[in-house]
Structure 1
Amino acid sequence: MTAATLVSTDNVAPRERAPVWREWVWKHFGGLEADLYGDTEFDGHMASAHAGDVILTRLEANRHRVVRTAGMVRASDAGYLKIVAPMHGRAGVEQMGRQAWVSPGGWTIYDTTGCYAVENPERVEHLIVMLPKALIVERGLQLESLMARHVGGASGISRVALTTMRSTYQELPNMSAAAAQGAGELIAQLVRLSLIELAGQSTALTQREALKDRIRAYVATNLRDPALSIEQIALALNCSKRHLHNAFAGEDDTLASYILRLRLQACIREIQQTGPQSRAITGIALSWGFNNLSHFSRVFREHTGQSPSAFRQAAAGPLQH
């Protein structure tokens, strides 16, 4: 029988849950920063086990976001490819200028030796699988172009891989160490085959992904510009607006909502800074391309459930009397 590691906030005082969860995430995933979108209430549970060198974790938690910066990457010892396969809720993985949103029935993969961010905008239950990169590296397979891509899960080898990951996690308590080792090796083989198949997708889809990468790179560079628009992007990339919209077809975000979401996320990160170096909310909004403050306040409330000032007050913690 393989040993499992279990952690839960159920026995932690409510006010201590957020910092305790951040500490658990940091330790379990080898240096990873978590924030809770400014929420003051939180609960989460993790159960993890090994299938040989492959680590499988079932995570259930309120909405949260995790980030790995360049400094955290340098502090990490081991290189893994990490898979997120939602069972409930959805996740958005961002790496190398790309972002892939996955829902139950799909999965995506990213590289822990690079910077990345994972959005969980609602309560989630995920299966997270960590595979040593050495198990996946295939001669001629360029992993960089496959990270933060929607691998699949609905059909073909990616569906076989997803089913195997789920069933392995469920049956690990009943496996011997030798059987668990074999199951881990099978998962690695199926993931490798899924990535090889993804790398061989049609030229049209490859071109669309390439255009999407160019769009995201341009948006990232010009996010603070209030004049950033679909028209401006089309002119800069020398393509039609129709091509820009087509590049985002099938995504949860339209191009316009993608830009808005990135701006809001940037504002949220700055508004959460409540120390003496914190900036005024108006200045933050203007610096990230919002030139209409009433519009900013409205979309901020829609995204977080709070006004910007209430959000900052919550991030600062309860008032001391």
Structure 2
Amino acid sequence: MVCPLAATHQSALDSLCETLLDLLALAEIRPNAIQSSRSQAVTLLEIKRHVEQRLADPALNASGIAQAVGPSAHYINALFEQERQSLMRYVLQRCLERCHQAIAQRQTAGLTISRIAFRGSFNDLAHFSRVFKKQYGVSPSALKLAE
């Protein structure tokens, strides 16, 4: 006599086996994708480290970063596109963050806004004020006065 539950279990087992085979097939494909994405993440981290080290350099640009780190400027921009921004937008963002921190810190109370901007690799005070206000919703001088 055949147990009715055996047929149900067999069906579930067959379905499980099919799913397992699909996963194994994907596992054959995924290691390259995983390795590629790990390699991209490492490259992106190296680029960001380089940017951090040279953030105060007003001559910091995509071709200089590409020469220092290795991959082409095009590849670097493709990596940053995955993060939904460009390389130079990232550099600008980091420069603004550093300037914001400097303005907000009490240790820099003796420094002028222009000195902080120039230290932050901005060479045009009007441009700095414009992008700072757009980013933080307050002008650099208003932030300094608030602190």
The residue number in structure 2 matching 1:289 is 121
RMSD: 2.0
> Which of the residues 268, 273, 281 maps onto 2:100?
268
Higher relative contact order (CA 8 A, sep 6+): 2
Matching of residue 208 in structure 1 with residue 40 in structure 2: yes
Higher strand share: 1
Matching of residue 220 in structure 1 with residue 63 in structure 2: no
Aligned length: 117
Aligned-partner residue type, residue 271 of structure 1: I
**Displacement of 1:216:** 0.4
**Contact kept in structure 2, 1:271 and 1:281, CA below 8 Å:** yes
Aligned-partner residue type, residue 216 of structure 1: K
Larger Rg: 2
Task: Map residues 149-298 of structure 1 onto 2, 5 A cutoff.
Answer: 202-274=34-106, 277-298=109-130
Note closer, same or farther for the CA distance 1:210–1:312 as it changes in structure 2 (3 Å cut).
same
**Displacement of 1:277:** 4.7
Percent identity, please: 32
TM-score normalised according to structure 2 size:
0.72
**Displacement of 1:217:** 0.7
Higher helix share: 2
Please give the secondary structure, in 1, of the residue aligned with 2:121. coil
**Displacement of 1:252:** 3.2
**Displacement of 1:204:** 1.4
For 1:276 and 1:299, how far apart are their aligned partners in 2?
21
**Contact kept in structure 2, 1:271 and 1:278, CA below 8 Å:** no
**Displacement of 1:253:** 2.6
Task: Map residues 41-80 of structure 1 onto 2, 5 A cutoff.
Answer: none
**Displacement of 1:304:** 1.0
Unaligned runs of 5+ in 2: 1-30
